[in-house]
Structure 1
Amino acid sequence: MTYHPKSDFIAVMKERGFLADCTDYQGMDEALSAGVVPAYIGYDATAASLHVGHLMNIMVLRWLQKTGHKPITLMGGGTTKVGDPSFRSDERPLLGPDQIQDNIDRMQRVFAQYLSYGDGPTDAVMLNNAEWLDQLNYLDFLRDIGRHFSVNRMLSFESVKSRLDREQSLSFLEFNYMILQAYDFLELNRRHGCLLQMGGSDQWGNIVNGIDLTRRVADTEIFGLTTPLLTTSDGRKMGKSAGGAVWLNGDMLSPYEFWQFWRNTTDADTGKFLKLFTELPVAECDRLGALQGSEINEAKIRLANEVTALLHGEDAARAAEATAREVFEQGGVGADLPTLELSPADIGAGISIVQLIVRAGLAGSGKEAKRLIAENGARLNDAPLEDAGLMVTPDMLDSPLKLSAGKKRHALVKRA
């Protein structure tokens, strides 16, 4: 692309690797250069926490605000009642209103770490699409909005086509999701002057629908921008670890475990992740990403520190690094390690080591824990664990036990 962006926001998106596609690159750049642009990303409240897979688009909103524009975090209090079918092989479980609101409240704590909310022209606002979706009259909606959608075109979207090609059920409820998301953009434009919707590249069809609808109904020029779907250099989907989803809420994943996830980044991804998930200058990201041999480990520690400090604060990042150095370099226990506390009732006369490994989150099942031991991947107090039948008795817990799975995952077990 030879066009050189005029706006700081597009320049950052391009330089740091956030830009996948946009509906009108030059028109959007002109709008961003002309004044404050309100822009939104939507989040369904299907879980009690956002995860690392959401972090790239949260950073997009942060850069939007830092370059003088207005971020809108749109919570899907309404659409969560339907469920986004995009690239899913099954239907989402439906949640009740109390659970949805609780999830939104918990997510809000994460957004507050990255964005400044308030009443100023570039302050972020958090909105909930239940505000307008819950009030819809079905017949009016069909007449005023539904007539602008072609079923033929909706069936051609990859997210729908892939479901149908696999002959998997797509409920009418889910099929309506893309119309509701398009309607969100129209309402945000009407109510808040929103000119830009952003999201992952899997949302392209939904974004284009919203732009078409708003042009037809409100005769307004609005824009869409997508970020690339992020995979690691070995092809895995970003946001998963050996222990499951990498949650952003500290009560679902400790700051140390979050820090460790980033410390375990592969060499090939380090430079890219520094650009996407930190605010270090691009030249410094390139320098750190180009380090070789043992020096790349210092770049990964810098990555882990910077990302953890943004989410959990600098004190948490420093504590995580100190724990990691104690555990890995000095063979210590590390007070900040994830900890499993056992009551006397839990321990009884003894508890199996396999059960402890599972409960400590180092394996997903007893079968996986036994395989870990059989393949010499488990350690107890830094010594190889060879007996899958070992029973841990109360006296063995007079001091905390350190369990390890491989070289990089550790947990403490102690009496409550």
Structure 2
Amino acid sequence: MTATPELKAYALAARTAARVLSAAPPRAKNQALLTVAELLLAQQEALFAANQKDLEAAQAAGLSLAKLDRLRLSEKVLEDLQTGLRQVAQMPDPVGEIEGLQIRPNGLQVGRMRVPLGVIGFIYESRPNATVEASALSLKAGNAILLRGGKEAWHSNKALVQLMQAALQEAGLPPEAIQLVPTTDRSAILEMCHLAGLLDLIIPRGGKELIELVQREARMPVLAHAEGVNHLFVDQSADLESAVRIAVNGKAQRPSTCNSLEKVLVHSAIAPVFLPRLAQAMREANVELRGDERTCALIEARPATEQDWRTEYLDLILTVKVVDSLEEALEHIARYGSHHTEVICTEHHAHALRFLREVDASLVLVNASPRFNDGFQLGLGAEIGISTSKLHAYGPMGVKELTTTKFVALGQGQVRD
């Protein structure tokens, strides 16, 4: 499939805008970000009205409660977006920084200059707040962005992009730096994947099917994350009250997110004491428990299947397994984990360090909820996604992750022998 002339025109306009942004002063980019924050409040009622159209259509279409939750623009969501925008504006501008400058024996000074990636294609589902987060980070990093949101959020995304384009124009920057693909037809995804030479990078953010489609079809680099099959290992030395609190927060605070908890591994030495406490807390949070044979012998739980260990539920379902050692927990995570988020609850310093070193995930935590694997929570201001690949970025992608480096050399007339 080749891109339609209309979509190519959007991409060409984005590439022109990207050249302007790459040389834009930090002051102008920061002004645009702060203006967006102000407009989110000033135009709040209009944004809620647009979002309500999307919510009503989604309810009529029978979308799940989890998807409706991701779609909703609440006062809290807008407040978080405003806070994130101000944080991003306050961050140092990475564009133009020269790193690792060295003087060669011939006097040539060699370093790496941080530069924008260019034009980013962002393909995502039912998350209007992601429209603002992705655009803000892209702008700060000097990139243009072409957004293709899900049809469920069409009215919300359109209103948010118009707001951000107005902020760009007020700051003297090209409004084409942030554009929404003018159709929600699925064919637009394939068209974007084939815009090699116009898009420098594609970032898909959504379900497994979407990510696999983009990875299969894209003619340019892809930064994506796998499913969030995230584990909590409760070690023999864990503070049990803290472990219960972390498990409930990880599973029930917002189960529809990719950084929510899906599996709990419990050391056999504490399982008879810990599992009844966990079961009681999860019942109070309306969480369905599934477990291996030893778990089911200690608490009321549905027997787990092999597929349960591989499944990202994004729902109020939790699978529990009893293990005999840290080594067994590490082996289980290596087999079933998705390189997203992994947690250990322990008071044993050596076990904590070993878990940090040996677990292969974009964020590994000790005695803290997996819900912290989020750009805003980790101090990035916002994120455009969480990468579970290791090339270029691993974990939440903030401003710096949306730049790359080129070599620069400063000489005084040197020539090569």
TM-score scaled by length of structure 2: 0.31
Pick 1 or 2: higher relative contact order, CA cutoff 8 A, min separation 6: 2
Higher strand share: 2
TM-score scaled by length of structure 1: 0.31
